[in-house]
């Protein structure tokens, strides 16, 4: 069986060799990093050296890196933990402001806080490209600044690749001393991501999106920001995230982050070139396909370089995905975390697309293993697959 053409790097990307080697090199050493004996101290050294590597790569202090099991846990810890801490300081702080296009790892915890924790969640609208207008945020804050506990705006969207104006968001929130959290899972490794320079108060990153292992990630959070823990136990990670640390996975995570940041510029340029070939090729074969998110005139500044999100009128995205899969081409209908859920993308609906348009869409995401041959394989297959998908629909 031939190797599949993998165009779903936004869901997960294959481990890079340096991460694999860093992780497997530690698997033979069984020890708890919290133990005081020599083996425990050795494991602790692996964890702390990895933390320093991550901090150096992300532009933060080692003490600001709270290690987690991945992006979902980090997002939950940020929005719940900061909300609880802020509300404990001032019960008036019940509002949480975010965008309507956030990942479900942010939206679902916020729904839970609204149902169980007394939060008032406001989903800020976005434009047709999925981008937040900082003026919209300002108007919402200024309606009652004292009631805002937290702002959470993703660095870049996981479905359509739109980059959010994080710097402007921070500037608006800072006028009222409101902390800002950003989910930077999709941005790391393809955009310049510097925690200190960004001005955000908390930032989520994940290992398996940058060539590291599953089950490792971090919430980078300023030490002066209060965070109530979700998990109580041994008091690890500044007593914010208890639990035995997975030293091998953390070593692999750190190696992947370091490599991703070091090669970011070169990688982004290569992805942008492949993206152009993919979009041009697909539109030549399927002229009525619609590119969702920022287009060629602005995509260098406003879109992730490896993201292509297209609607194919007259098709069901799920059917088209399976037809491509049968030809060995793997992609996504949107966020892999909500795969299998029979509903239109909340991101596209928030961008003003119709339900039918949202259901007819596919995401093709490029990564470090992507090649021109992968793009050509998709271009060669997409026409027949669309034709057949439209026939099935009829």
Residue 292 is encoded by which pair of tokens? 């969702």
Beta partners for residue 365, in sequence order: 8, 307
Residue 386 CA to residue 285 CA, distance in Å, equals 10
- The answer to whether 118 touches 94, Cβ cutoff 8 Å, is yes
Residue 223 CA to residue 276 CA, distance in Å, equals 42
- The answer to whether 370 touches 7, Cβ cutoff 8 Å, is yes
Question: How far apart are the two ends of the chain, measured CA to CA in Å?
Answer: 32
Residue 216 is encoded by which pair of tokens? 């490792």
- The secondary structure of residue 204, as a DSSP letter, is E
Q: Which residues contact 319 (CB under 8 A, 6 or more apart)?
A: 389, 392, 393
Q: Which residues of 23-61 are buried (b: 16+ CB within 10 A; e: fewer)?
A: beebeeeebebeeeeeeeeebbebbeebbebbbebbbbb
- The answer to whether 15 touches 256, Cβ cutoff 8 Å, is yes
**Residue 385 annotated as catalytic:** no
Residue 146 CA to residue 174 CA, distance in Å, equals 13
Catalytic residue among 60, 315, 331, 337: 337
- The answer to whether 254 touches 51, Cβ cutoff 8 Å, is yes
Q: In what order do the strands lie in the sheet with 202-206?
A: 65-68, 217-221, 202-206, 180-183, 148-152, 95-99, 120-124
Active-site positions read 337
């Amino acid at each position: 069986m031939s190797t599949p053409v993998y165009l779903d790097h936004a869901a997960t990307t294959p481990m890079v060799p340096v991460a694999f080697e860093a992780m497997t090199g530690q698997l033979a050493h069984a020890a708890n990093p919290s133990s005081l004996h020599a083996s425990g101290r050795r494991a602790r050294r692996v964890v702390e050296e990895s933390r320093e590597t991550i901090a150096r790569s992300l532009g933060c202090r080692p003490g600001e890196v709270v290690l987690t099991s991945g992006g979902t846990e980090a997002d939950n810890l940020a929005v719940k933990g900061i909300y609880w801490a802020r509300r404990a300081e001032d019960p008036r702080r019940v509002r949480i402001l975010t965008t309507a296009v956030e990942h479900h790892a942010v939206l679902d915890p916020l729904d839970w806080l609204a149902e169980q924790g007394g939060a008032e969640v406001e989903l800020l609208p976005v434009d047709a490209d999925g981008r937040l207008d900082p003026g919209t945020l300002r108007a919402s804050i200024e309606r009652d600044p004292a009631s805002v506990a937290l702002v959470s705006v993703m660095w870049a969207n996981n479905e359509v690749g739109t980059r959010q104006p994080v710097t402007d968001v921070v500037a608006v929130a800072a006028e009222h001393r409101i902390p800002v959290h950003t989910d930077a899972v999709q941005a790391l490794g393809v955009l310049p991501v510097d925690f200190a320079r960004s001005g955000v108060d908390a930032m989520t990153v994940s290992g398996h999106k940058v060539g590291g292992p599953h089950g490792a990630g971090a919430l980078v959070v300023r030490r002066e920001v209060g965070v109530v823990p979700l998990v109580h136990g041994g008091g690890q990670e500044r007593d914010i995230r208890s639990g035995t640390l997975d030293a091998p996975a953390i070593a692999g995570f750190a190696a992947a982050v370091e490599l991703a940041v070091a090669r970011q510029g070169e990688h982004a340029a290569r992805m942008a070139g492949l993206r152009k070939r993919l979009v041009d090729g697909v539109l030549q074969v399927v002229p009525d396909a619609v590119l969702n998110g920022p287009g060629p005139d602005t995509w260098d500044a406003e879109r992730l370089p490896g993201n292509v999100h297209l609607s194919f009128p007259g098709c069901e995205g799920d059917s088209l995905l399976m037809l491509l899969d049968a030809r060995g081409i793997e992609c996504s209908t949107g966020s892999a975390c909500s795969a299998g859920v029979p509903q239109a993308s909340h991101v596209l609906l928030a961008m003003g697309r119709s339900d039918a348009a949202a259901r007819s869409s596919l995401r093709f995401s490029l990564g470090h293993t992507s090649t021109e041959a992968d793009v050509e394989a998709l271009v060669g297959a997409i026409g027949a697959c669309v034709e057949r998908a439209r026939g099935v629909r009829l």
